[in-house]
Amino acid sequence: MTRRAALLIGAAAILPRLATLLHERGDILAAYRDKSDDFAQTFLGSGTFGFVPGVPSAYTQPLYGYFLIPIYWIADRHWLAVGLVQIAVAAATAWLVYLIGRRVLSERAALVAALLTTLHPYVIWHDVHLNREILDGFLAAAIVLASLVCAQRPTPLNALVVGAALGLGILANARLALLPLVVCAWLAFRLDGPRRRLLTALAVLLAAAVVVSPWVIRNRVSVGCFALTTDSRALWKANNLNTYDTLARGGWIDDVPPLPGSPPSPQDAGAIYRETGRVVRVDECAQMDLYQDEVVDFWREHPGEKGRLAAQAAGILWQPDVLETQGRQGAGTWLDPIRTVVEPAFMIALYLAALVGLWTLPRSFLALALSLLAYQSVVAMIFAGATRYRVPWDFLVALMAAAGLETTLVRARASRQRRASPQPG
């Protein structure tokens, strides 16, 4: 990476986010919070990773909580510390996108891709708040870069790096649990010889398993079951007879009526503890099994309704405007025109340029990018779709768009030269 490119990308990533952070400083720790924030605070206060002191929980993916713990420990949960560290992660993500681009595009197009990624209006605002997607985007770019390096130099070490990145991605977002299979399939497509393909795939899967296993084993010992997360209630909220209508009228899956007779969730127990000091014991593993069974029953008994939900989720995932729900935080503020005008305009332009880029990118990289985006679409159709679930992977669209913009520019320049050159006869 040239110094000029590094400085330009860093400035584009840091300056707008720093301005947003200063503007939003009163809401950084009060609104838009991921539940990992509760886990981090509880851990620092009691040594328990969960909602309630002395009651370990697996009700969320662990990585973002552990990311916040050292920040809170050093800076005592201060908005500026959180914001600055997350801005640094955003800048690192943009630099990774540039490095990816240098492997599949020209230097100029790689720079454009990094700038498109980091100047994404929604992401500028989102990156400074307490949301785990800040890590999702960084790890997504790391997975892609590591995969490209491994495809070019398929050494055991490079394969282990790919697997470790995938393992961290799973710990950040359980939706990526099957992503190692997609990456291994792409590497098998790129590599020569069955032995090399097999050894590379085994190294990737082994490294991912080694990274994820301590968390899964911890949950078996401390919570009572092997699980990446026990929050199957979220899956059920995205898969029942009330979900489609709730989303269609502007609600979110949190607005879906609760399962009749369902016990308090671990998150509910945490709220009760904070308000009253009373400890409500919750069997997370039994709840996980309950909601998983409900989801399977729904899929089996209402396949048509599930089909409608899948189509709805895919549409929400890829719509250019930000998903808006009733009672959303920030309604009636400066965020509204960002959500309804600026973000859609940016994404529509990005999509159009990406369509052009589809025909110019190297075929092998395009296969990887489309496979990863297809995986996100399938996962959304199983769970739920939302803008914040898509944006960590929008850098792939930005890379396609940068290729498309460069192709358009080259063709326009060639056309001008032809018109300007003297015609014979």
Exposed (0-12), middle (13-18) or buried (19+): which is 188, by Cβ within 10 Å? middle
**pLDDT score, position 93:** 98
User: Residue 36 falls within a domain, yes or no?
Assistant: yes
**pLDDT score, position 416:** 79
User: Residue 254 falls within a domain, yes or no?
Assistant: no
CA angle 333, 338, 339 (to 5 degrees): 95
Chunked into runs of 10 residues, the chain (425 residues) has average pLDDT values of 91 97 92 92 96 96 97 95 98 98 96 97 94 96 98 96 98 97 96 94 98 98 96 96 94 92 93 94 95 97 97 96 64 68 94 94 96 97 94 98 92 78 62
User: Residue 372 falls within a domain, yes or no?
Assistant: yes
Q: Is 147 helix (H, G, I), strand (E, B) or coil?
A: helix
- Give the range of the structural domain holding residue 73, as residue numbers without chain letter: 3-246+264-417
User: Residue 252 falls within a domain, yes or no?
Assistant: no
Q: Are 157 and 132 in contact (CB under 8 A)?
A: no
The gap from C-alpha 243 to its chain's centroid, in whole angstroms, comes to 22
**pLDDT score, position 418:** 76
How many structural domains is the chain composed of?
1
Question: Residue 48 is which amino acid?
Answer: T
**pLDDT score, position 331:** 57
User: Residue 259 falls within a domain, yes or no?
Assistant: no
CA distance 300 to 113: 43
User: Residue 271 falls within a domain, yes or no?
Assistant: yes
The gap from C-alpha 420 to its chain's centroid, in whole angstroms, comes to 48
Q: Is 249 helix (H, G, I), strand (E, B) or coil?
A: coil
Helix residue ranges, H only, 322-362: 335-337, 343-357
Q: Are 392 and 136 in contact (CB under 8 A)?
A: yes
CA distance 309 to 117: 29
User: Residue 295 falls within a domain, yes or no?
Assistant: yes
**pLDDT score, position 414:** 80
**pLDDT score, position 323:** 72
User: Residue 425 falls within a domain, yes or no?
Assistant: no
Q: Which two structure tokens, joined as six digits, stand for 311?
A: 């189509």
